[in-house]
Amino acid sequence: MATLFRCSRVLGIVALLIALGLIINSPRYFVGHAHWRRIVWIPFSEAHLSPKDIMVNLLVFFPFGFLWGFGSPASPRTVWRSGVLVLGLSISCEFYQVFCHERFPSATDVVDNTLGALAGLTLGSAFSKRSAKLLQPAR
Query: Between 133 and 11, where is the model more confident?
Result: 11
- What is the pLDDT at residue 69? 81
The arithmetic mean of pLDDT across residues 13-20, rounded, is: 74
User: Domain range for residue 48?
Assistant: 2-135
- What is the pLDDT at residue 79? 80
- What DSSP string describes the chain? -HHHHHHHHHHHHHHHHHHHHHHH--GGGB-SS--GGG-B-STT--TT--HHHHHHHHHHHHHHHHHHHTTS---HHHHHHHHHHHHHHHHHHHHHHTTBSS---BHHHHHHHHHHHHHHHHHHHHHHHHHHHHHSPP-
pTM recorded for the entire structure:
0.77
pLDDT digits over 89-131, tens only?
889 888 888 888 877 889 999 999 999 999 998 888 888 766 6
Q: What rounded mean pLDDT belongs to the chain?
A: 80
Q: What total number of domains does the chain contain? A: 1
